[in-house]
C-alpha cells in the first residue's frame, strides 16, 4: 500500500485469505481492490483448493485505514459439490456515491463429466448494502450449452447504472468465437439486460518471437479491462486484438460508450508499438485503462520492441494518454500520441515463471496489471517484472501531468 501517491510503499499481509494466513482455502488469486467514497477499501479474491478446484468461491474483506489492517474475510459465494462447477475470479467495485453499496460478479464453469458432453456456465451477481459486512448473491445469466464467460468487471456510472463487461466464449459453431460483451442494470442489480456484444475479440495470443511455441501471458489474451469517466459517465474498454495486423500480432484495442453501454464505438488501436520492428516485436499485451478527474484516459501495456533476436526476450511497459476536447475524440484513437516508458530498462521475459500445467505452456507474470488515477491528471501504474535469481517483483510508477 502507498499513502503518498505512489512515492513509497509498504507491504501488508492480509489475514484469512488462504491457509497460509489463517484461512480455509489452499490458494488465493485474482485479487481486486476498490475504494468507496469515504475511503473504505474493499478487497475481493478468488479462493480454491488443490489439487482440484472444488471447493472454490469468492471472499471479500474491508479496510478502514487504507489497507493497514483488514476485517475477517467474508465468504460471498462457494461451491463444494464437484458436480456443481467451479467459481473463477470476479472483480469488486464500491459505489462511488453510496458508501454502503458494494458489488461483484462471479462466473462459474461446469466442465463435462464425459467426452462429448457440453460445457456450461453461470454468472452470479452479489451485492452488499452494509459496506461489505454481508452479501446477497444470485444467478443473473445462464449462457447455455458450450457458452462460457470470464473476466467480469463492473463499473458504476454517475447515474447509478451498473455495467458489467466480460468475455463471452461461444463453442457451439464450427469456429469457436470470443466476444467482448456487456450487461446493464438500472436498478442496482435487481434486473439485468441481456448481453450486448461490443466486438469480436480477435486476439491471436502472444508468443516468444524467437520461439513461437512458448506463449507469454496467455490468460490476458481473453480478458478485458474497463474504466468509467467519473464526471461524464463515458465507459472505456480495452483488450488484446490482432485485427489491426491481419491477425499477425496482438495490439491493444479500445471501444467507448457514451450512452451507459447501449452502443459502442468501432474498436481502434491505441498502443504505439513501432511498426518498423519485426511483427513479432510489435505484439502488445496485458492492457489496463484508467480515467483521471480531468477526463484524461490512460492505457498501459507491454511489448517486445527492444527484443534481442540473439539473446534475451527484452520486454518493456508503456503508457499512452489522451485528453478529449471538443475537437478531439479519444474514441478515434488519434489522441493517444503521448507515450511514456514505465520501465527504466527492459527486463528479460524468459526469466518469468514458466507455466506448463494450465493452458498453453509459456512465461507468466500474471493476467492483469494495475492502473489507477491519482489526482486531476496523474496516474499510478503497477506491474510485475521477473527477477533472474528470485521471485518476480512488483514495480510501481507514477506518471505526472499525463498528456501535458
pLDDT of 403 over the 70 cut:
no
Mean per-residue pLDDT of the chain: 93
Residue 358 has a pLDDT of: 62
Starting at the edge strand that comes first in sequence, how are the strands of the sheet with 251-257 ordered? 224-228, 235-241, 251-257, 268-269
User: Mapping DSSP to helix (H, G, I), strand (E, B) and coil, where does residue 191 land?
Assistant: coil
**What value does the mean pLDDT take over residues 54-75?**
95
Rounded to an integer, the average pLDDT of 119-130 is 96
Residue 404: pLDDT over 70? no
As a whole number, mean pLDDT of residues 257-266 equals: 97
pLDDT at 131: 97
Distance (Å, whole) CA 372 – CA 403: 15
Between the two ends of the chain, the Cα-to-Cα distance in Å is 27
Contacts 24+ apart (CB under 8 A), 161-165: 161/185, 161/186, 161/260, 161/261, 162/103, 162/186, 162/188, 162/189, 163/226, 163/228, 163/235, 163/257, 163/260, 163/261, 164/105, 164/125, 164/192, 165/198, 165/224, 165/226, 165/235, 165/237, 165/261
Which tens digit of pLDDT belongs to each residue from 296-332? 999 999 999 999 988 899 999 999 999 999 889 999 9
pLDDT of residue 94: 98
Note the pLDDT of residue 329.
94
Separation between Cα atoms, residue 230 and residue 223, nearest integer Å: 23
Residue 228 and residue 133: Cα distance in Å, rounded?
A: 26
- Residue 237: exposure state from Cβ atoms within 10 A (0-12, 13-18, ≥19): buried
pLDDT band per the 50, 70, 90 thresholds, residue 115: confident
- pLDDT value for 249: 97
pLDDT category of residue 207 using cuts at 50, 70 and 90: very high
Q: What is the pLDDT of residues 324-365, one digit of tens each?
A: 998 899 999 999 988 999 999 999 999 999 887 666 678 999
Q: How many CB atoms lie within 10 A of CB 64?
A: 14
Q: CA dist 195 to 149, 184, 229, 239, 262, Å? A: 11, 8, 22, 18, 10
pLDDT single digits (tens) 154-194: 999 999 999 999 999 999 988 999 999 999 999 999 999 99
**Stretch 375-403: mean pLDDT:** 88
pTM of the full predicted structure? Answer: 0.95
Distance CA(380)–CA(373), nearest Å, equals: 6
Instruction: Tell me what pLDDT residue 401 has.
Output: 74
Predicted confidence (pLDDT) per residue in 210-254, tens digit: 988 889 988 899 999 999 999 999 999 999 999 999 999 999 999
**CA distances to 124, 300, 402 from 340, in Å:** 38, 9, 9
Enumerate domains of the chain plus CATH numbers.
Answer: 1-200 (2.120.10.10), 227-250+285-404 (no CATH)
Asked whether the bond before 90 is cis by omega within 30 degrees of 0, the reply is no
- The residue with cell 439485468 is 192
- Which residues neighbour 320 within 8 Å (Cβ) at sequence distance 6 or greater? 270, 271, 272, 298, 299, 300, 336, 337, 338, 339, 340
Amino acid at each position: 500500500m502507498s499513502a503518498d501517491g505512489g512515492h513509497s510503499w509498504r507491504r501488508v499481509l492480509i489475514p484469512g485469505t488462504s491457509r497460509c494466513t489463517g484461512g480455509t482455502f489452499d490458494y488465493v488469486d485474482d485479487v481486486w481492490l476498490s475504494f468507496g467514497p469515504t475511503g473504505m477499501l474493499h478487497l475481493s479474491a478468488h479462493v480454491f483448493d488443490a489439487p482440484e478446484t472444488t471447493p472454490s468461491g469468492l471472499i471479500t474483506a474491508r479496510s478502514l485505514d487504507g489497507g493497514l489492517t483488514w476485517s475477517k474475510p467474508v465468504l460471498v459465494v462457494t461451491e463444494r459439490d464437484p458436480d456443481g462447477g467451479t467459481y473463477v475470479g470476479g472483480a469488486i467495485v464500491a459505489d462511488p456515491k453510496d458508501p454502503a453499496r458494494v458489488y461483484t460478479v462471479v462466473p462459474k464453469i461446469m466442465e463435462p463429466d464425459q467426452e462429448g458432453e457440453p460445457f456450461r456456465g453461470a454468472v452470479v451477481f452479489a451485492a452488499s448494502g452494509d459496506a461489505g459486512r454481508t452479501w446477497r448473491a444470485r444467478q443473473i445469466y445462464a449462457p447455455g450449452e458450450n457458452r462460457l464467460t470470464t473476466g467480469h468487471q463492473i463499473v458504476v456510472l454517475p447515474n447509478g447504472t451498473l455495467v458489467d463487461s466480460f468475455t463471452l466464449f461461444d463453442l457451439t459453431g464450427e469456429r469457436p468465437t470470443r466476444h467482448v460483451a456487456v450487461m446493464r442494470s438500472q436498478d442496482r442489480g435487481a434486473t439485468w439486460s441481456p448481453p450486448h456484444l461490443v466486438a469480436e475479440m480477435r486476439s491471436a495470443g502472444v508468443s516468444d518471437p524467437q520461439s513461437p511455441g512458448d506463449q507469454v501471458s496467455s490468460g490476458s489474451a481473453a480478458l478485458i479491462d474497463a474504466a468509467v469517466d467519473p464526471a461524464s459517465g463515458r465507459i472505456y474498454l480495452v483488450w488484446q486484438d490482432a485485427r489491426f495486423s491481419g491477425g499477425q500480432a496482438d495490439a491493444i484495442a479500445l471501444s467507448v460508450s457514451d450512452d451507459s453501454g447501449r452502443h459502442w464505438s468501432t474498436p481502434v488501436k491505441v498502443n504505439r508499438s513501432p511498426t518498423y520492428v519485426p511483427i513479432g516485436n510489435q505484439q502488445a499485451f496485458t492492457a489496463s485503462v484508467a480515467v483521471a478527474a480531468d477526463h484524461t484516459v490512460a492505457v498501459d501495456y507491454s511489448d517486445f520492441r527492444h527484443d534481442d533476436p540473439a539473446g534475451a526476450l527484452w520486454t518493456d511497459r508503456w503508457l499512452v494518454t489522451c485528453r478529449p476536447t471538443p475537437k478531439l475524440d479519444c474514441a478515434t484513437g488519434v489522441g493517444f500520441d503521448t507515450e511514456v516508458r514505465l520501465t527504466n530498462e527492459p527486463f528479460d521475459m524468459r526469466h518469468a515463471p514458466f507455466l506448463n500445467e494450465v493452458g498453453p505452456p509459456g512465461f507468466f507474470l500474471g493476467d492483469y496489471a494495475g492502473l489507477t488515477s491519482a489526482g486531476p491528471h496523474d496516474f499510478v501504474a503497477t506491474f510485475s517484472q521477473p527477477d533472474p535469481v528470485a521471485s518476480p517483483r512488483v514495480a510501481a510508477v507514477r506518471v505526472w501531468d499525463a498528456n501535458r
